[in-house]
Amino acid sequence: MPPTTQGGSNPPSQSGRSRTFQPDDDKENDKTPARSQVRHVTYERREPYFLFKGLQTTQNGRFYAISARFKPFSNKGKTLIIQYTVKHEQKMDCGGGYVKVFPADVDQKNLNGKSPYYIMFGPDICGFDIKKVHVILHFKNQYHSNKKSIKCKVDAFTHLYTLVLRPDLTYEVKIDGQSIESGSIEYDWHLASLKTAEKASAEAKEWNEATDAKAQEWEKHFLDASASKPSDWNSELEGDWQAPMLQKPPYQDGLKPEGIAKDVWLHQKMKNTNYLTEYDLSEFENIGAIGLELWQVRSGTIFDNFLITDDEEYADNFGKATWGETKGPEREMDDIQAKEEVKKAREEDEEEMLMRRFGGQDKNFNRFHRRNEL
């Protein structure tokens, strides 16, 4: 499968202008998906970013839906990698930042929360409780989420999110190129109800030879299994023939039970082969689109550098060539901007203090102060 990229691979012009798509309905609280309410933005305030652009949500309290179609493919027997960047420039307090991978027959014009998808991956933030990375997989007409709690980034910087699904049923989640979670799809998803049917048993969970004792009713006789009905036996006169009873040896309290394990007894499990095979866990036959379908209370998130590929090395290099080239300058410019804001605030405080001190004594203070004539 050749690498497929959407978003940040084509640089915009260096003019710094943003292309904005205006919605048909501009009601603030409209719950319909804002399919065209994302805009292409460039990093106008930070000079190193003019070569990159992204998709930015523009209105608070809205659903957003936008997608891009590509030539359908199957990842059967291959690694599947989904990668993109997210920047919560507005310092997100509640909203999604995840992407969805759709089958080729998805209805793009009517994309919504009920549209079937294969994979949902990325950060989701809401309040103090929800700050997680979703990894939801679809198979057998059900959606299954990862059991582990994967923490997402909550600052205002750009972050690179990567999901790797391998044909050996292992997975890996990376943030900024660093692995933060990995394991087995078979064990890290809620799949027990699909894969196995537990065989019930009345046996004890633990065995302890110290509790083994004589049966409450010790039988002293037993049937002679080797006996046979005599050839001259007359059932009409003597009734039905029964094997004779033999005497058991006397019970001895000193007898010890044969070694019985004390370990926890593991109940048997049977493979439910009629419902799920292991290949269903990581294979998707008709991948054909990637998009955003999410809700944001506070807008302003910038999405960029979308990538779907089967080449882990290519994904790493693509991340370094995009996010890797901007992460350093982004933080440097953020520090510079923060210092400028502190300086500006200090100057405004000093001016306000001088106004309070001298404003009543000289009506022309403000005019003189602005001309630096004091």
Give the other-Cβ count within 10 Å of 103's Cβ: 17
Confidence class for position 266, pLDDT limits 50, 70, 90 = low
Cα 80 versus chain centre, distance: 15
Tell whether the model's pLDDT for residue 35 goes beyond 60.
no
pLDDT in tens, 330-372: 888 877 877 888 888 887 777 778 777 776 555 555 555 555 5
- Give the model's pLDDT for residue 327: 84
User: Pairing between strand 119-126 and 130-139?
Assistant: antiparallel
- Give the model's pLDDT for residue 294: 92
CA distance linking residue 41 with residue 299, whole number of Å:
14
Tell whether the model's pLDDT for residue 25 goes beyond 90.
no
Confidence class for position 8, pLDDT limits 50, 70, 90 = very low
Question: Comparing 127-131, 138-142, 234-238, 273-277, which segment has the lowest mean pLDDT?
Answer: 273-277
pLDDT in tens, 194-240: 554 444 344 444 444 455 555 555 567 777 778 888 888 777 777 78
**158: nearest Cα among 72, 90, 87:** 87
CA distance linking residue 292 with residue 138, whole number of Å:
17
- Give the model's pLDDT for residue 192: 56
Give the other-Cβ count within 10 Å of 143's Cβ: 13
* Mean pLDDT score across all residues of the chain: 75
* Amino acid identity at 78: K
Q: Are 152 and 131 in contact (CB under 8 A)?
A: yes
Average pLDDT rounded to a whole number, residues 285-311: 94
Q: Are 221 and 247 in contact (CB under 8 A)?
A: yes
CA distance linking residue 160 with residue 86, whole number of Å:
7
- Give the model's pLDDT for residue 22: 30
- Give the model's pLDDT for residue 245: 80
CA distance linking residue 310 with residue 358, whole number of Å:
70
- Give the model's pLDDT for residue 17: 29
Average pLDDT rounded to a whole number, residues 72-78: 94
- Give the model's pLDDT for residue 269: 61
Choose the most confident range, by mean pLDDT, from 20-24, 210-214, 259-263, 343-347: 343-347
- Give the model's pLDDT for residue 367: 52
* Amino acid identity at 42: T
Tell whether the model's pLDDT for residue 373 goes beyond 80.
no
Tell whether the model's pLDDT for residue 70 goes beyond 80.
yes
CA distances from 367 to 170, 311, 373, 374 (A): 71, 66, 9, 10
Which position has the token pair 């409780």? 129
* DSSP category for residue 4: E
Average pLDDT rounded to a whole number, residues 48-69: 82
- Give the model's pLDDT for residue 364: 52
- Give the model's pLDDT for residue 226: 80
- Give the model's pLDDT for residue 106: 95
CA distances from 342 to 328, 338, 345, 347, 348 (A): 21, 6, 5, 9, 10
More reliable by pLDDT, 3 or 22: 3
CA distances from 109 to 34, 64, 71 (A): 11, 12, 18
pLDDT in tens, 84-125: 999 998 888 899 999 999 999 999 999 999 999 999 999 999
- Give the model's pLDDT for residue 121: 98
Handedness of CA 223, 229, 230, 233 (dihedral sign): positive
Percent of all residues in the chain with a pLDDT value above 90, rounded to a whole number: 38
Tell whether the model's pLDDT for residue 317 goes beyond 60.
yes
The crossing angle, in degrees rounded to 10, of helices 312-321 and 323-358 is: 30
**352: nearest Cα among 366, 364, 363:** 366
- Give the model's pLDDT for residue 272: 55
- Give the model's pLDDT for residue 28: 42
State the DSSP string of 136-187. Answer: EEEETTEEEEBSS--BPP-SSSEEEEEEEE-TTSEEEEEETTEEEEEEEHHH
**176: nearest Cα among 335, 3, 322:** 322
Q: φ and ψ at 249, to 5 degrees? A: -65, 150
CA distance linking residue 266 with residue 201, whole number of Å:
10
CA distance linking residue 187 with residue 146, whole number of Å:
9
- The enclosing H or E element of 60 equals none
Give the other-Cβ count within 10 Å of 254's Cβ: 4
